[in-house]
Amino acid sequence: MSVIKLVTTLPISMKEFEVGEWAHALLSEKIVACIQIEKIRSMFSWEDKINSEEEWRITLTTKLSVIHQIIQAIHATHPYDVPQIVWHAVNSDQNYNNWINEVITNE
């Protein structure tokens, strides 16, 4: 099993409870084991302008076998035209791997 950390962002205009509901929906689908939510400042180029905005960074812990389901779910519910969706494999303890396998059942 490959443990994956997938990162996306949501607009700071979303209230904290809305971000929580968005994350809860992914957890309820049993395609994500854990989600961290934090406020960040992002700088990016969009439509020929340099922007600097606060955002919510959402870090999802999941398995490679469900990555396409997560990407579909993000695209279906994300407010941005082009959401950040990046991921990488991580090393983790066997007990943590076992827990992720128990939690993610929608494969």
Q: What is the pTM of this model?
A: 0.93
pLDDT at residue 25, as a whole number: 96
Average pLDDT, the chain: 96
* pLDDT tens string 4-58: 999 999 999 999 999 999 999 999 999 999 999 999 999 999 999 999 999 999 9
Give the integer Cα–Cα distance in Å for 35 and 1. Answer: 19
* pLDDT band, residue 68 (cuts 50/70/90): very high
Domains belonging to the chain, first-starting first, are 3-103 (3.30.70.120)
Find all residues with CB under 8 Å of 21, minimum gap 6, and list them. none
